[in-house]
Structure 1
Amino acid sequence: MSIGNSPNSPEEDRSSAGPDRPSVGRTLQQARIGAGLTVEEVSTATRVRIPIVHAIEQDDFTRCGGDVYARGHIRTLARAVSLDPRPLIERYDADRGGRPAPTVAAPLFEAERIRSEPRRPNWTAAMVAAIVVVVGFVGFTFLSGGGRHEAGPVATDTAKADKPGPASSTIHPRAPQPKPAPSESAIAGLPKDKVTIKVTAKDGQSWLSAKDANGKLLQDGLLRQGESKTFTDKKRIDLVVGNAGAVQLYVNGKEVKKVGNEGSVERLSYTPGDPQAG
């Protein structure tokens, strides 16, 4: 029995992409290797389980639980290795025939919007409005009559009010005071027998892992742009910093000028006597 032209398997379709257009999984794997990250480190940073990370890098998305979860995993892994997730998601959808168009919900409610129920007259609001009008008219008549009899004193008081007051009563807006820059006294206030580290994702997000001298995990995950973390230990703080060029680092109150390059992974360790030169 001869076998005719059978459709290619998903693995054969992915292998036919060619070197000019690597698959989604291959692109994520190359970016991870280029960033110097292991699968375990990416799994820890993104909270995507290690078997799923391995499967996605092999273009096996069956373990994701559906297209929605697969797109979410692709987006998370791409950001962890400093990739733009949009082209990868578009390629994922294109390989599967495209994403289904969203359903337009507006026409479904058009008839309900047109056939609104007639409102019943609000007699309570009408009575309140009538009372307000009557009270306002009586008050206006009373004030108008009183104003004609007391026109003289009112004019006198107005003239007094128009006289300029003493110069000292003039209120000048206070100019905003500039924030003081960090001084040497602030650095001197840090404890000498401990190591204090402050990490800030200044120019972009970074992946950060921090442990104390006993190996206790103090931080493990993404540090979004603008976020800061501070760590203190009596002996030592060990750091693993991803995308080190985007990080601002202070050790014992002194800034470390060069942590690393953009996209690089740096492993650092500091003690209470560090750094020798900030």
Structure 2
Amino acid sequence: MAEIGATLREARMRAGIDIAEVEARTKIRAKYLRALENEEWSLLPGSTFVKSFLRTYAEALGLDAKLLVEEYKFRHEPFEGSGVGVRRASRRGGGGAFGPPKRTNWVPLLLLLVFVGVALFAVFQFSKDEGKPSATTTTDATTTDAAAAASRKKQQEQRRKQREQRAAARLVVPLRIEAGPGSPVFVCVVDAQGKRVVDGRQLQAGRRTGLLRSKRFKVALSSADARVTVGGKRRNLKAGSDGVVAYEITRKSSKRLAAGSRPSCA
């Protein structure tokens, strides 16, 4: 396949449109469009946004967006192979240099110990039964004590669950993201379980996500104009030097993420 950037540039020139017109159509900044055509990947804000921008640009030019994204992945993303476990055989038991060790037959000894144990238990039970004053009275008392203990245990378990539920509710982050009035924003959000709850979606101007709930979130945005709120209160999040807003958000704090720790929605 031809170079990715050359494919985009040739398609744009065949269509007779310039970068400014593409910027207006796709809402992608002109410098990022030029970086795509020149394959200057280091000027783009991370692999997730490269693929998102590439997909949007290709669709605007009538190209096969999926094919171009797959070509980018093949050429520029690190290969991820699955490791195969080795040396499993060495973990199995062996007998050293002279073959497997001899096994002692413990069965007769174990049977003897079981027999002695059963006999001692029978003698103990017989002696215990001889000294019982009243089987009926003892049974009634035992039943009452067991019922009271079960009731106390149930109440304790209910109180414990209520405490855990209250503690969990205090940690939940009610998150909502709204695009600014001027332009759309690319949104990637991953929750505490690693699930992509907003998977590289382009949020149009003035539109917002539903209310997201988790103990914490990792958020990546293509613009600092987006409004991010937790429990209805806005968090002041700033873009990094590459123009990307990337933070880990909890109930009490917002921590900026380095490029290698940002969420991926590719």
Q: Same fold (TM over 0.5)?
A: no
Question: Which structure: greater helix fraction?
Answer: 2
After TM superposition, the score normalised by the length of structure 2 is 0.35
After TM superposition, the score normalised by the length of structure 1 is 0.34
